[in-house]
A = this chain, B = another copy of it.
Amino acid sequence: MIIVFKSDATEEQVQAVVGRITELGMSPHLSKGVARTLLGAIGDEKILTAHPVDAMPGVERVIPVLKPYKLASREFKKEDTTIDLGNGVIVGGQRFEIMAGPCAVESREQTLEIAEILHGFGVRILRGGAFKPRSSPYSFQGLGERGLKILAEARERTGMKVITEVMDADDAPMIAEHADILQIGARNMQNFSLLARLGKLQRPVMLKRGMSSTIQELLLAAEYILKEGNPHVMLCERGIKTFEPATRNTFDISAVPILKHESHLPVIADPSHATGIAYVIPPVALASMAAGADGIMVEVHNHPEKALCDGHQAVLPAPFAEMLVKLRVLAPSVGRTI
Please give the residue numbers on chain A whose beta carbons come within 8 Å of chain B beta carbons, in ascending order: 2, 4, 7, 27, 29, 31-36, 38, 40, 42-43, 46, 49-57, 63, 65-66, 68-69, 75, 133-140, 167-170, 187-188, 190-193, 210-212, 214-217, 220-221, 223-224, 227, 240-247, 250-258, 261, 274-275, 277, 279-280, 283-284, 286-292, 301, 304-305, 307-309, 311-312, 314, 326, 329-330, 332-334
Bound-complex Cα distance A251 to B244 (A): 12
Set B2, B38, B283: member contacting A256, Cβ < 8 A: B283
Contact B42 A217 (CB under 8 A): no
Bound-complex Cα distance A79 to B243 (A): 30
The 7 closest A-B pairs by CB, nearest first: A212-B212, A55-B311, A33-B42, A29-B31, A55-B304, A287-B287, A187-B190
Bound-complex Cα distance A139 to B187 (A): 22
What's the minimum C-beta distance from A5 to chain B, rounded to whole angstroms?
10
What's the minimum C-beta distance from A306 to chain B, rounded to whole angstroms?
8
Bound-complex Cα distance A52 to B306 (A): 7
Bound-complex Cα distance A291 to B243 (A): 22
What's the minimum C-beta distance from A6 to chain B, rounded to whole angstroms?
11
- Residue pairs across A and B with Cβ atoms less than 8 A apart, 28 shown, are A29-B29, A29-B38, A32-B42, A33-B43, A34-B43, A50-B138, A52-B311, A53-B305, A54-B312, A55-B312, A68-B136, A133-B190, A134-B192, A187-B192, A215-B246, A240-B242, A240-B243, A240-B244, A243-B243, A250-B250, A250-B254, A251-B253, A257-B279, A284-B291, A286-B290, A287-B290, A287-B291, A329-B334
Given the contacts A31-B42, A42-B34, A50 and B261 also touching, CB distance less than 8 Å? no
A252 contact set on B, CB distance < 8 A: 242, 244, 250-251
A292 contact set on B, CB distance < 8 A: 283
